[in-house]
Structure 1
Amino acid sequence: MTKIIFIIFLYTLIIYSQENKGIISIELTNDNSVVIINDSLKFYSSFKKAFPFGDYKLIVKENKNEWGSEFQEYSFTLSEQNNYFDKKFNIDNKVFIDSYPSDAEVTVNDSTIGYTPLSVSLSSQNILITKENYNPQKLISPKEINYVKLESNFVKENKSFLETYLFETLIGTAVALGATAAYFKIQADNKYDEYIKSRDKSLLDQTEKLDLISGTAFGLLQINIGALIYFFLNDN
């Protein structure tokens, strides 16, 4: 008798559990998508399954392999009155595009859709990547992941050495050093003349100091002139 009661109880429990379930039917048009139910169950393809009555949160991510990809979210309740949830998600396959350097403008059919890195629909046509001072790149057949290296179109201005700031600096420095050397040489000669007349040893010391300054300036002037000659002869 006990066995019969247990079997009846078990059968009733099975019937009750079946009666308290609804159906969730999901159709995905993108094989890369993932369906997450209540932040735990994951499905990577279309499905039709029975679930207990209750509240559900459904998240569909466009790309299961891409962190931070776009997603769609739905909340619904399965109950005796609403025991069937049916949804089709028309999600385009996406391709990931990045560039070096990044922050390049991406246009599809002459319309700007954003800046790298970003994802675009695989069905997009005429994908063009542009950035100032770089040659534009066109993606003919985009892959799932695309890394585009942009080539600089910056043209170095070919100036003559005589037109450069370096030439102006060296000329200005040469004039200043020449004037300095001449000035202190004149001062040294004057002090030496005074020394000859007075035989004051302090005047001789001043003469030597002025000669040293004049000689140093003259030495730097020679280096300066040497640099001018070097850059002038190597100017292309």
Structure 2
Amino acid sequence: MMRKNKILNIYLSLLFLLISITAFSQEKDSLKINYSLINSIPQNAPVYFNGGYIGNTPYRFMFGSADSVNGIDVIVKMKGYIDFSFRVVKEDLPLNKTVNLIATGKNPALRDKLVIEKKSSLFKSPRKVVPIVLSSLVAGGGAILGYVFKTQANDYYDEYVNTGDRSKLDKTKKYDLYSGLSLAAFQIGFTCLIYFLLIK
């Protein structure tokens, strides 16, 4: 009985960990590791640090030790919009700034083409939902089936110990194999989930 409870606790802990990982938002993940974010409306605006081009919005960066002395002069500029400039110093970090670019008088039609900030694009590329859902289902299903099969294997083993019936021992081995395969499916699903959610 103690063995069953221990296995159940392990599976439930792993399932809780799986659910917890998927619950964190992308923005919080970045702030945890002290990334700073400069974004703009509309997005895809070139960003310049101390006069040098470094990327387009949304842009993530970490504050280097050399920057902590003088700070960084940031300019966000886009054709047809007024340049937006500001200074970032170490005390401002981690920075999470969204700049609303204003269309110039030469092209007021650009005001109607604003790109609204999308929370799902805070990673370098948007996450693919289908692989994340499928790998979550494989991981969750593998964990649940592993627990069920291991419980059945333990029950058959207890019967074998009490009765000495070899058929119960054979069933124990069969369900232990199923439990191992289910655990392997859980590990593969969990690895795929981490890959599709955090790496790819």
Normalised TM-score (structure 1): 0.31
Structure with the greater alpha carbon radius of gyration: 1
Normalised TM-score (structure 2): 0.36
Per chain length, whose mean CA-contact separation is higher, i.e. which structure has more relative contact order (CA < 8 Å, sep 6+)?
A: 2
